[in-house]
C-alpha cells in the first residue's frame, strides 16, 4: 500500500464524519418530498454520527522508511512509537533480520484522553523492502494486539522521536490502556513472550530514565572517528591498524530501554568545556576512555594542529600524567595514572623492604587534579592481580602491615580513603566528581597471565543468562558513595560492557611479521582493554549524557 493509498484512507474517514451537505453554504429550492427525504437522511446521518464518532477513531500505520501520517486541519493528530521486544536482547537501527517491526498509533483526540477503541484498522506497508509482509493491528479498549503470520525485515528507526526494538512473528496482546501519556508522546511495548508490557519513553532528565539499563542496537552509521584515523591512540588499542580483519565491533550503539540518549556532540562538548580541565584518573582502562575522548573531540576540530600534547609544548611531562590541549577552546583533557587511587609504597621489615599498598593514603598524584572541573575516577583491574588478590603481607595502614586481608575488605578501605579525601579536598560547587564502574573482562580458558583467549569473538553476548553478576567491588562502591557529602556521578557500565566480548584487542595489539609471532601472541591476549574506536566511545557518550542530565555549571540546558 503506497503513501497515496494511506492518505486517501485517512481522507475517506474525514468525508464520512463531515459529509458535504453539512459543510456546504449553498441553498437550494426543494420540493416537499425532497424535504421529507432530506429529513430522513438527516436523522439517519445523525444516528450514524452518534454511533461512529463518539468513540475516537485510531488509525494505525506500520512505519517504514519514509512513511508519513496524514494530518488535517480539522483534527489534532498525535502518535506513539511502539516497539515490541522479544528474548533477543539486540536490535537493528537500520534494517533488522527477519523479526523487526515499528508500529505507530495516531489518534485525533486530546492529550488527556486515552485510547479506548479502534475499528477497521489495517497496517500500511509503506517504504518496506521486497521481503516485507504487512500485518493487521487492532487496538481495543483493554487490548492492543499485534496479529501477524509473517513479518520480516521491517526497516527500523533510531532517532530522537522513534526508537524501535524488535518483534517476533506471532500474536502479542497488551491488556492495559494507554493513558496520561505526556512524556514526549512515546510509548514502548516490550516482550519476552506473548505477554507484552507497555512502557513510556521518558526524557533524559526524567528521574525514571536510567541510561545504563538498555540493550545494544545494531548501528551501521560511522563511528565518532574513522577506523585508523586517530594518531593519538596507543598502538595496543588500534586493532584496525594491527590487522583485525572484521569491523563489526564498531557497529553497535547502546540504547536505553526507557529513554533516549543524545549522540556525543563534540563541538558542543568542547564549548561547554571551554576554559576548563577534564581529568581521567585511574588505571589503563581509564586511559582507554581518555584516548577515546581525545579522539572524539579532536575529530570535530578542523585544524588538527590546534590539538596537541602539552608535554610537547615547553612543559615538562610529569610521570604518569598526560594532557592534550584544545587551543581554540582553552581547555585540556588529561589522564593521570593511578591504578589503585591509593598509594603504592614500601615497608622496611626485619627481613628487608617489600612493596605494600597504603589503604589509608591517597596516591601522590592528587596535587595534579584536585582543582580540575570534571574528574573521572576508576579502579578495579589491578585489584585482581596475584599480589592484591592474595592479600598476604601487602596491605598497609599506618605502620601495620596485614599478614592477611581479603581483597574486597582492602578495596572497601581504599574507597573509604578516596571518599574521605574527596569530601575534604574537592570543591563540589566547582568540580563534578565521576566514578566509572568496573569494565568486565572476557578471558576464556584462563586469565590474562594463563593463556586466556578472546580472539575468535566477533559478536556480542546475546543471551543475558551468560552475563556476570553485578561486581562485588561495585556493591562496595555503592555503599561508600551513599555516605559521602560530595555528589558523585556513578557510571554503572559493568552490565552494558559485559555484553561486548567482541570488542577487545585480543591478539591485535601489534602487527606480526611472521605467523610464528602471531601464534605466540595467542598465548598472551588482551581481553581486558578495548579496541578504539569501540566500547569506550559509548562510555564517553554516556558521560556526555550524564553531564547534560546533571545540568550543573556550563552543562545547564
Active-site entry in 381, 455, 504, 529: 529
CA pair distance 56, 13, nearest whole angstrom: 12
List helix spans (H) across 300-406. Answer: 366-369, 386-390
Contacts of 348 (CB under 8 A, 6+ apart): none
Query: Residue 34: which of 51, 49, 21 has the closest Cα?
Result: 21
Q: Which residue(s) pair with 489 in the sheet?
A: 434
| Annotated catalytic residue within 526, 528, 537, 546 | 526
Q: Quick check: is 455 catalytic?
A: no
Distance CA 107, CA 471 (A): 46
Longest CA pairwise span in the chain (Å) = 124
The question of whether 529 is a catalytic residue gets the answer yes
Chain-centre distance of CA 327, in angstroms? 30
DSSP string, 411-437: HHHHHHHHHHHHHHH--TTT-EEEEE-
Q: List 346's β-bridge partners, or say none.
A: 355
Distance CA 259, CA 200 (A): 8
Cα angle: 533, vertex 531, 495; to 5 degrees: 95
List the one residue out of 328, 394, 381, 395 whose CA is nearest residue 528: 381
> How many Å apart are CA 317 and CA 323, to the nearest integer?
9
Q: Is 100 a catalytic residue?
A: no
Instruction: Provide long-range contacts, Cβ within 8 A and 24+ apart, for 549-553.
Output: 549/204, 549/205, 549/209, 549/211, 550/432, 550/489, 551/205, 552/432, 553/373, 553/430, 553/432
Q: Do residues 153 and 130 touch, judged by C-beta distance below 8 A?
A: no
End-to-end Cα spacing for the chain: 43
124 to each of 12, 103, 127, 348, how far by Cα in Å?
A: 15, 10, 9, 79
Q: Please, where are the H alpha helices in 185-303? A: 266-272, 284-299
- CA angle, residues 214, 218, 221, in degrees to nearest 5: 120
Burial of 463 (0-12, 13-18, 19+ CB in 10 A): exposed
Q: In sequence order, what DSSP letters do the residues of 180-216 get, joined into one string?
A: ---STT-EEEE-SSSB-EEEEPBPTTSTT--TTSEEE
Question: Distance between CA atoms of 219 and 549, rounded to whole angstroms?
Answer: 24
Q: Which of 79, 92, 284, 338 is catalytic?
A: 284
| Residues forming the active site | 284, 526, 529
Amino acid at each position: 500500500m503506497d503513501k497515496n493509498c494511506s492518505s486517501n484512507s485517512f481522507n475517506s474517514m474525514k468525508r464520512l464524519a463531515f459529509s458535504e451537505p453539512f459543510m456546504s453554504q449553498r441553498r437550494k429550492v426543494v420540493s416537499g418530498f425532497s424535504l421529507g427525504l432530506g429529513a430522513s437522511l438527516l436523522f439517519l446521518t445523525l444516528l450514524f454520527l452518534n454511533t461512529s464518532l463518539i468513540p475516537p477513531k485510531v488509525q494505525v500505520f506500520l512505519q517504514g522508511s519514509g512513511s508519513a501520517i496524514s494530518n488535517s486541519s480539522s483534527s489534532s493528530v498525535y502518535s506513539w512509537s511502539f516497539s515490541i521486544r522479544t528474548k533477543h536482547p539486540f536490535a537493528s537501527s537500520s534494517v533488522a533480520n527477519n523479526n523487526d517491526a515499528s508500529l505507530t498509533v495516531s489518534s485525533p483526540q486530546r492529550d488527556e484522553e486515552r485510547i479506548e477503541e479502534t475499528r477497521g484498522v489495517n497496517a500500511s506497508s509503506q517504504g518496506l523492502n521486497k521481503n516485507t509482509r504487512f500485518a493487521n493491528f487492532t487496538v481495543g479498549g483493554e487490548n492492543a494486539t499485534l496479529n501477524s503470520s509473517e513479518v520480516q525485515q521491517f526497516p527500523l528507526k533510531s532517532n530522537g522521536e522513534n526508537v524501535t526494538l524488535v518483534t517476533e512473528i506471532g500474536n502479542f496482546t497488551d491488556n492495559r490502556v494507554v493513558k496520561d501519556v505526556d512524556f514526549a508522546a512515546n510509548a514502548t511495548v516490550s516482550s519476552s513472550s506473548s505477554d507484552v508490557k507497555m512502557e513510556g519513553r521518558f526524557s533524559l532528565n526524567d528521574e525514571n530514565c536510567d541510561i545504563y539499563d538498555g540493550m545494544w542496537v545494531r548501528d551501521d552509521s560511522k563511528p565518532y572517528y574513522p577506523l585508523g584515523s586517530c594518531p593519538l591512540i596507543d598502538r595496543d588499542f588500534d586493532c584496525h591498524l594491527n590487522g583485525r580483519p572484521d569491523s563489526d565491533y564498531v557497529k553497535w550503539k547502546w540504547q536505553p530501554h526507557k529513554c533516549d540518549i543524545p549522540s556525543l556532540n563534540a563541538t558542543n562538548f568542547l564549548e561547554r568545556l571551554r576554559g576548563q580541565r577534564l581529568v581521567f584518573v585511574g588505571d589503563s582502562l581509564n586511559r582507554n576512555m581518555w584516548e577515546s575522548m581525545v579522539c572524539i573531540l579532536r575529530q570535530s576540530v578542523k585544524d588538527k594542529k590546534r590539538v596537541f600534547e602539552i608535554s610537547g609544548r615547553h612543559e615538562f611531562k610529569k610521570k604518569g600524567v598526560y594532557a592534550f590541549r584544545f587551543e581554540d577552546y582553552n581547555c585540556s583533557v588529561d589522564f593521570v595514572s593511578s591504578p589503585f587511587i591509593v598509594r603504592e609504597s614500601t615497608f622496611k621489615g626485619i627481613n628487608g623492604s617489600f612493596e605494600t599498598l597504603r589503604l589509608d593514603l591517597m596516591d601522590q598524584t592528587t596535587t595534579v587534579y584536585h582543582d580540575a572541573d570534571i574528574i573521572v575516577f576508576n579502579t578495579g583491574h589491578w585489584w585482581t592481580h596475584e599480589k592484591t588478590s592474595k592479600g598476604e603481607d601487602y596491605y598497609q595502614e599506618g605502620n601495620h602491615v596485614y599478614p592477611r586481608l581479603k581483597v574486597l575488605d582492602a578495596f572497601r578501605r581504599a574507597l573509604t580513603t578516596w571518599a574521605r579525601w574527596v569530601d575534604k579536598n574537592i570543591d563540589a560547587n566547582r568540580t563534578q566528581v565521576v566514578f566509572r564502574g568496573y569494565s568486565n573482562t572476557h578471558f576464556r580458558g584462563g586469565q590474562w597471565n594463563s593463556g586466556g583467549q578472546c580472539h575468535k569473538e566477533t559478536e556480542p553476548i546475546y543471551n543475558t543468562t551468560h552475563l556476570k553478576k553485578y561486581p562485588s567491588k561495585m556493591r562496595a562502591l555503592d555503599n561508600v558513595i551513599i555516605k559521602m557529602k560530595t555528589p558523585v556521578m556513578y557510571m554503572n557500565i559493568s552490565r552494558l560492557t559485559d555484553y561486548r566480548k567482541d570488542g577487545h584487542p585480543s591478539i591485535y595489539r601489534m602487527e606480526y611479521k611472521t605467523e610464528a609471532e602471531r601464534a605466540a601472541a595467542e598465548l598472551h591476549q588482551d581481553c581486558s582493554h578495548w579496541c578504539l574506536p569501540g566500547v569506550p566511545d559509548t562510555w564517553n557518550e554516556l558521560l556526555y549524557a550524564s553531564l547534560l542530565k546533571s545540568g550543573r555549571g556550563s552543562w545547564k540546558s
